[in-house]
Amino acid sequence: MKRVASIMPLDADPALAIPAAADVREPAPAPALFSLRDVDLHYGRVRALHGVDLSIHAGERVALVGTNGSGKSTLLRVLHGLLAPTSGTVSCLPRNRQALVFQRPHMLRTSVRNNVALGLWLRGMGWRQARQSAVDALARVDMAELAGRNAKALSGGQQQRVALAQAWAMDADALLLDEPTANLDPHAKREVEALMQEFAQPRSGRTMTMVFSSHNLGQVKRLASRVVYLERGRVLADLPVHAFFNGPLPEEAGLFVKGEKI
């Protein structure tokens, strides 16, 4: 007798059933907090950014890497709305929902507590609440005992922590940091990195989005989920951190990772 392989209709076995069209749709991606399309930025005759396309989504920890002058600081300033592009389109989180921490934060000649509180007050918080939030945030970065000190007299690492306290007190959705640990000694570096790691943890069900520039590839590995490599203002690689350090890269990015390009 001729045997005929039985063919079970796919939908007879629930495990094999083809889901209805509505079920197979990809989960909606997290909304882009920052979106740049074909962005150029010129400083006079210097083209600091060149055709940059970049979307950054909620919860990402993006490291901007590249040689000196490749455009990292400029890109951070565009994301923060401090610089407008020469051409292209930019859509960014409102400034009051994000904080930018500079390599050398600017401190006013008043107490540490007032420095943090003034930043909050300028963003519309009442003075009394701003002072209380400043006290809480300084405790958060282990600076409570220095709250009354003149902020100008603090060390670089301490000033960096004050700037992070302010970002924390703002309850920002995104934190942008321009080489946050450059010029710090190894101990201060570790402290600031630990804070960045803590800030990246979910808070009240939200995860802070982080974009930072760094020349420290160890730090990039420890902190980033994604790496954007810039070369003369162009994005040459944009990869998950594991792929950036382990996968094939465009030649110039590969040389940079090997330390053969600085």
Q: Which residues bind ligand ATP (CB under 6 A)?
A: 43, 46, 48, 66, 68-74
Our CB check for ligand ATP shows the closer of 87 and 246 to be 87
Our CB check for ligand ATP shows the closer of 59 and 156 to be 156
Q: Nearest approach, Cβ of 106 to ligand ATP (angstroms)?
A: 16
Q: Nearest approach, Cβ of 89 to ligand ATP (angstroms)?
A: 20
Q: Are strands 61-66 and 174-178 parallel, antiparallel or unpaired?
A: unpaired
Task: For residue 92, give Cα distances in angstroms to 61, 77, 122.
Answer: 16, 11, 20
Geometric angle at alpha carbon 237, from 232 and 239, rounded to 5°: 150
Q: Nearest approach, Cβ of 93 to ligand ATP (angstroms)?
A: 20
Our CB check for ligand ATP shows the closer of 71 and 119 to be 71
d(CA 55, CA 49) in angstroms, rounded, equals: 15
Our CB check for ligand ATP shows the closer of 69 and 126 to be 69
- Sheet containing 32-43, strands listed edge to edge, beginning at the edge strand earlier in sequence: 46-57, 32-43, 87-92
Q: Nearest approach, Cβ of 54 to ligand ATP (angstroms)?
A: 14
Secondary structure class of 93 (helix, strand, coil)? coil
